[in-house]
Structure 1
Amino acid sequence: MTKWSAPPLSSDTLTALAQGPYQQDPEAVGGSLVTSAMVSMLPLATVFVLLGVFRLKAQWAALSGLAVALVVAVAGFAMPAGQALLAASHGAFFGLFPILWIVVNALWVYNMTVSTGHFDVLRRSFGALSSDTRTQAILVAFCFGGLLEALAGFGAPVAITAVMLIALGFDKLKAAVIALVANTAPVAFGAMGVPVITLARVSGLPLDQVSSVVGRQTPLLALFVPLVLVFIVDGVRGIREAWQPALAGGVVFALGQFLTSNFVSVELTDIVASLAGALAIVGLARLRPGAAWAARRPARVGAGTAGPDDGEPADTPRDIRLAYLPYVVIVAVFALAQIPGLKGVLDSLKLAFDWPGMAVLDPQGEPHSSTAYTLTWVSTAGTLMVVAAVIIAALLGVSARRALRIWGETVHDLRWAIVTVTSVLALAYVMNASAQTTAIGLLIAGAGGALAFLSPVLGWFAVAVTGSDTSANALFGSLQVTAANSAGLPPDLLAAANSSGGVLGKMLSPQNLTIACVAVKLEGQEGVLLRRVIGWSLGMLVVLSAIIALQATPVLGWMLP
């Protein structure tokens, strides 16, 4: 193992350490758990109120919440200011590596395909598979949207699929609703698994354990989301006539998500599930060519497959192969990295050190997990995406200079997202290190057995406000584990429930509603769109919460690893 040696500590740090480590006390405020928990909610309340009530931009809300978390840590929990700032720096650095390292490089690949025109070919390929609007909704919004969520996330799937649906002839409002509702099941494993990776890190649970449980919850949503899309498009008649592609796409997507997240790779989960779901529908259409839902657009006279309308060019078979090639390369690179012998070597190349200057003990007097930093810098998804991107650039004929320029543009486009993510992770680390999260978790644990039903609601609420499953997991992942341990429930179940429930809050988040409205040119209609999707969000949340509550009992406990 390659181990990084920390630089010599400064005189200030040595002085702080000489005064003794900071030991957490969940009842630090007034000697009361209830008071401590109420005060600990101030940073979260700051973020949620600024976002949801005052409509402040996410980066400023996150920075404000971080400032409040620091004040609460120092003034309320008697944490030394230096230790609180060190915890914030640790969280911000983790936000950069590996989280944003993954996001930036995944979006880099996507932006290269856009720049070369291959993304448009892929879009036309999906649109030409069927002329039936119900099947188009599944293929474009659910399958292709899932693929975009795997690579990009952060609102891109909603914006892109909504525009694609309008190009296929969908009503603007209906296209926006379909895009939002479809962007659910893939979210927990979006952006190459960033939400789940973040959840594992802040909760202290093994990544494979967390992903395994999430992979036994979100696939249950995938089973019926395509049916919901068909109903939105064509009501009861749509279900009656087009249930077959909806069921095939949902079942195969769910199986792909379950098998890949449990036995292959967290990062590949949505890529495999989305492509498998689309192939299942196309294969079924070949077996049932006479079905109304399988009707295809007539091939145009010329070089290849027709685009979705007469205003777009025909694409040659070579064009289509090149459009799908980047995803084949990504799957191949990540699959090779999972080969047992090679995986062990890659995982051994890592940075592992105690965060310089941090000295935090948990209530039992043991070193707190927030003091340690580990990064498998070669096998992390961000680095593997760089390897894939270099290969993809060569295959698509993108010069090194052009590829680097696109990478720089990608970072620039994400500049405010970078501020937001690093601030949210810094906030989460300050709350975790100072015992604010522990205090809230211990209080919530008083819900007892009902906690299993309520845990996905907490994730749903967080994503509805922040618009990000990653942020929700950073904020509440540790809290869920603390509450689970105190209530005698499986910690991995409740941590996973936070992420699984969170995916259903994304369609209600102000930022996603705004993205959808802007994409379909219905600016100012966010309230109308909210009323169209809130019923689906709440309905699926109740079903998911009931399932997770039963997973905490012998009734469905067999589903857990």
Structure 2
Amino acid sequence: MLLAVSYVQDLDPLGNRILSTIVASLPVLVLFYLLVQRRWLASKAGAAGAGVAILIAWLVYGMSLKMSMWSFAYGACFGLLPIGWTVFNAMLVYNVTVETGQFRNIRRSISSLSKDGRIQAVLIGFAFGAFLEGSAGSGAPVAVCGAMLVGLGFPPLRAAVICLIANTSPVAYGGLGTPIIVLSDVTGIPGETLSVMAGRQLPFLSCIIPFYMVKVMCSWRQTFQVWPALLVGGAAFAVFQYVFACFHTLPFVKGIVVYHVTDVTSSILTMGVLAVFLRFWKPKHEWHYDSPPPFTTPDPDKLIDTDPHKVDEIAHDPHAIEAAKAAAFLTDTTGDDIPLTKMEVVRAWMPYALMSVCLILVGVLRQMESKGDVWIIPNVLKSRYKIEVPTLHNEVQRAEKLQKPGLAEPENEKAEFNFIWASAAGTPVFMSAILSMLYLRTNFGQIKRIVRKTVVQMKIPIPTIACMLGLSYVTRYSGIDATLGIAFASTGILYPFFAAILGWLGVFLTGTDAGSNALFGSLQKITATEVFNNHTAAFENLSLEQTQTLLSTANSTGGVMGKMIDAQSICVATAGTNQIGREADIFKAVIWHSILLASIVGLMTLIQAYVWPFAAMVPSP
């Protein structure tokens, strides 16, 4: 007996495939126009795009206004927990190290490893940048590392370009795995499976990026003079990235999920490997920029109180405010000539060691949750609660074309908000922030400044994530994304290449890999299904589930290459290196690098889709 539903999706509500596709694309087009042409803040543009999606779902697709609004609310709530909660606390830990002065010792411990500019670029721009991306994200890697390189004598424009190129392969695991978490939620594919797929693509790029960024700095001859260090740095990060991304599949630790700390642990271990390697190997000819340019740091006290609505005065983005503050802090080299003791280095890195331990412990809790409910306090408090979304849960039926073959009756869409207060990645990170404050003996005044600064930094990113996920959920439950997915499927067997390019476009639009996954993740899965069903012979090496995993992951791994050209990254780069007004110059300097690297990901996805044995790299469900 069929269950009664309130809404059945229609992939062609206007009775004309072309017109329906054009209308379905309006939320994305509005988002693009407001972000790129009107220069709106991402949170406002996301809210406007979601508003357009709600109207189209109601007036064109026939979904009730109440259901459309609840779809948005469902997505926005997921954007707040666990995503917003995780991102906020990751930045909180970072600010603890800054406020207590430990971040300066972290910076000194890295920059003192080598005086060669090429190796400094890899250590700071790539390895340390990956650490910041994994632990904080939100523009921190480009701002902080750019300022550090300028302080070491790099020309500001070159420092910005190097850091933008470096901040690519780690992005899929940025903010403690936020992009993977988002992609898992909108596609329904387990995050562990997506992480394994990303872990079998990104390490290849991690080997390339150090060579690529150093070649941008100097000639081929000068690049290959330091090839041993580039190889060790790239290969070490690639190996560790693979290990932690696929950790739960390894013998003896099977089932323990730690992909959230892939960037954090991989970067720390890579810096350690390079530190040991550089004790035994030095380049024959030390290379650096001959005449360090003068660097005038922006006044952070004037920038911090700037009204975000007047942000056009500082590169159109409120992240530029904090980037300028980071530049001011990191270019202060007073006392840098005093050697660090081992205990000072250990003390500086302790907050991140505590964070890693807490995340691993919660990984054990998450494994327990996979087997059933876990009671924190017996019969009183559980580690998670599932809340049915009103008017939506089991009230939406996917279009017949999207139903799984062989089902006796159509399958309805579930809508249960998973309130995972204990096992969300943000909770152990919050605990590590508290432990770090106790360990570093922060006083009440410091804690107040840390919290205030974190709130200021997150007042744009978190609403943006909530709005983007709200938009995504409206398109998902109304069927708007399915209409677009059918259209994209017309690219046929070439779609695996374009799957990566679509992710690249999504990051360019939204400014984050998580935002791109929220916007296009569900569409990628739908398109993968359509392409597979229409070209089954071409996908002879993959099952339908594997094809969905590969193409959905390509949205994230291809998207990371768009990170270097999105408006937020460009503006943060200009502010961090004190080049306000040179946004266009930086964009022109990185755009072709971005397109080339995204195309490499597209080709990699194409090969893994069709060519054996590369297809064997795609994990089975």
The 10-residue stretch of structure 1 (335-344 or 95-104) with the greater mean CA deviation from structure 2: 335-344
1:261 aligned partner, one-letter code: A
Where does residue 296 of structure 2 map in the other structure? none
User: 2:363, 2:423 within 8 Å by CA — same for their partners in 1?
Assistant: no
Query: Following the alignment from structure 1 to structure 2, what is the Cα–Cα distance between the partners of residues 293 and 204?
Result: 51
Q: How far has the Cα of 1:363 moved from its partner?
A: 1.9
2:341 aligned partner, one-letter code: T
Q: CA RMSD in A?
A: 2.2
TM-score under structure 2 length normalisation:
0.82
Cα-to-partner distance string for 1:165-191 (whole Å, 9 max, x where unaligned): 011111111111111100001100000
Where does residue 220 of structure 1 map in the other structure? 204
Where does residue 513 of structure 1 map in the other structure? 570
The yes-or-no answer on 1:554 pairing with 2:579 is no
Secondary structure at the residue paired with 2:417?
Answer: strand
1:338 aligned partner, one-letter code: G
Secondary structure at the residue paired with 1:373?
Answer: strand
TM-score under structure 1 length normalisation:
0.90
The yes-or-no answer on 1:335 pairing with 2:392 is no
How do residues 165-180 of structure 1 correspond to structure 2 at under 5 angstroms?
Answer: 165-180=149-164
1:496 aligned partner, one-letter code: T
The yes-or-no answer on 1:447 pairing with 2:505 is no
Where does residue 269 of structure 2 map in the other structure? 276
Q: How far has the Cα of 1:310 moved from its partner?
A: 6.8
Q: How far has the Cα of 1:313 moved from its partner?
A: 5.4
Query: Following the alignment from structure 1 to structure 2, what is the Cα–Cα distance between the partners of residues 104 and 340?
Result: 21
Q: 2:165 aligns with which of 181, 189, 202?
A: 181
Q: How far has the Cα of 1:470 moved from its partner?
A: 0.7
Q: How far has the Cα of 1:20 moved from its partner?
A: 5.2
Secondary structure at the residue paired with 2:160?
Answer: helix
Query: Following the alignment from structure 1 to structure 2, what is the Cα–Cα distance between the partners of residues 221 and 420?
Result: 28
User: 1:189, 1:196 within 8 Å by CA — same for their partners in 2?
Assistant: yes
2:618 aligned partner, one-letter code: L
2:390 aligned partner, one-letter code: P
User: 1:27, 1:439 within 8 Å by CA — same for their partners in 2?
Assistant: yes
Cα-to-partner distance string for 1:329-351 (whole Å, 9 max, x where unaligned): 11222223334897448974211
Where does residue 557 of structure 2 map in the other structure? 500
Q: Which runs of 5+ in 1 are unaligned?
A: 1-17, 296-306
1:255 and 1:308, CA in 2 relative to 1: closer, same or farther beyond 3 A?
Answer: farther
2:356 aligned partner, one-letter code: V
1:357 and 1:405, CA in 2 relative to 1: closer, same or farther beyond 3 A?
Answer: farther
1:321 and 1:293, CA in 2 relative to 1: closer, same or farther beyond 3 A?
Answer: farther
1:543 aligned partner, one-letter code: I
Query: Following the alignment from structure 2 to structure 1, what is the Cα–Cα distance between the partners of residues 367 and 477?
Result: 35
Secondary structure at the residue paired with 1:25?
Answer: coil
1:447 and 1:92, CA in 2 relative to 1: closer, same or farther beyond 3 A?
Answer: same
User: 1:352, 1:375 within 8 Å by CA — same for their partners in 2?
Assistant: yes
User: 1:347, 1:378 within 8 Å by CA — same for their partners in 2?
Assistant: no
Q: How far has the Cα of 1:542 moved from its partner?
A: 1.6
Cα-to-partner distance string for 1:115-135 (whole Å, 9 max, x where unaligned): 000001101111111000000
Where does residue 468 of structure 1 map in the other structure? 512
The 10-residue stretch of structure 1 (316-325 or 100-109) with the greater mean CA deviation from structure 2: 316-325
1:127 and 1:378, CA in 2 relative to 1: closer, same or farther beyond 3 A?
Answer: same
The 10-residue stretch of structure 1 (472-481 or 51-60) with the greater mean CA deviation from structure 2: 51-60
Where does residue 197 of structure 1 map in the other structure? 181
Query: Following the alignment from structure 1 to structure 2, what is the Cα–Cα distance between the partners of residues 347 and 266?
Result: 22
The 10-residue stretch of structure 1 (261-270 or 187-196) with the greater mean CA deviation from structure 2: 261-270
Query: Following the alignment from structure 2 to structure 1, what is the Cα–Cα distance between the partners of residues 232 and 491?
Result: 39
Where does residue 253 of structure 2 map in the other structure? none
Query: Following the alignment from structure 2 to structure 1, what is the Cα–Cα distance between the partners of residues 474 and 111?
Result: 47
Query: Following the alignment from structure 1 to structure 2, what is the Cα–Cα distance between the partners of residues 212 and 391?
Result: 31
Query: Following the alignment from structure 1 to structure 2, what is the Cα–Cα distance between the partners of residues 19 and 409?
Result: 50
How do residues 102-181 of structure 1 correspond to structure 2 at under 5 angstroms?
Answer: 102-181=86-165
The yes-or-no answer on 1:420 pairing with 2:464 is yes
User: 1:130, 1:294 within 8 Å by CA — same for their partners in 2?
Assistant: no
Cα-to-partner distance string for 1:207-236 (whole Å, 9 max, x where unaligned): 111111111112111111000121122221
Q: 2:431 aligns with which of 384, 387, 393?
A: 387
User: 2:387, 2:419 within 8 Å by CA — same for their partners in 1?
Assistant: no
2:182 aligned partner, one-letter code: T
Query: Following the alignment from structure 2 to structure 1, what is the Cα–Cα distance between the partners of residues 511 and 413?
Result: 29
Cα-to-partner distance string for 1:469-509 (whole Å, 9 max, x where unaligned): 11100000000000001111600101100000110001111
Higher helix content, 1 or 2: 1
Query: Following the alignment from structure 1 to structure 2, what is the Cα–Cα distance between the partners of residues 138 and 293?
Result: 15
User: 1:460, 1:504 within 8 Å by CA — same for their partners in 2?
Assistant: yes
Query: Following the alignment from structure 1 to structure 2, what is the Cα–Cα distance between the partners of residues 515 and 257?
Result: 26
The yes-or-no answer on 1:312 pairing with 2:357 is no
1:340 and 1:523, CA in 2 relative to 1: closer, same or farther beyond 3 A?
Answer: closer
Where does residue 413 of structure 2 map in the other structure? 368
Where does residue 5 of structure 1 map in the other structure? none
Q: 2:479 aligns with which of 435, 444, 457?
A: 435
Size of the aligned set, in residue pairs, is 531
User: 1:285, 1:294 within 8 Å by CA — same for their partners in 2?
Assistant: no
Query: Following the alignment from structure 1 to structure 2, what is the Cα–Cα distance between the partners of residues 293 and 78?
Result: 67
Query: Following the alignment from structure 2 to structure 1, what is the Cα–Cα distance between the partners of residues 432 and 334?
Result: 34
The 10-residue stretch of structure 1 (392-401 or 70-79) with the greater mean CA deviation from structure 2: 392-401
The yes-or-no answer on 1:22 pairing with 2:67 is no
Q: 1:285 aligns with which of 275, 278, 299?
A: 278
Q: How far has the Cα of 1:291 moved from its partner?
A: 4.6
Query: Following the alignment from structure 1 to structure 2, what is the Cα–Cα distance between the partners of residues 153 and 310?
Result: 27
Q: How far has the Cα of 1:34 moved from its partner?
A: 3.1
Cα-to-partner distance string for 1:61-99 (whole Å, 9 max, x where unaligned): 111111111111111101100000010111111110000
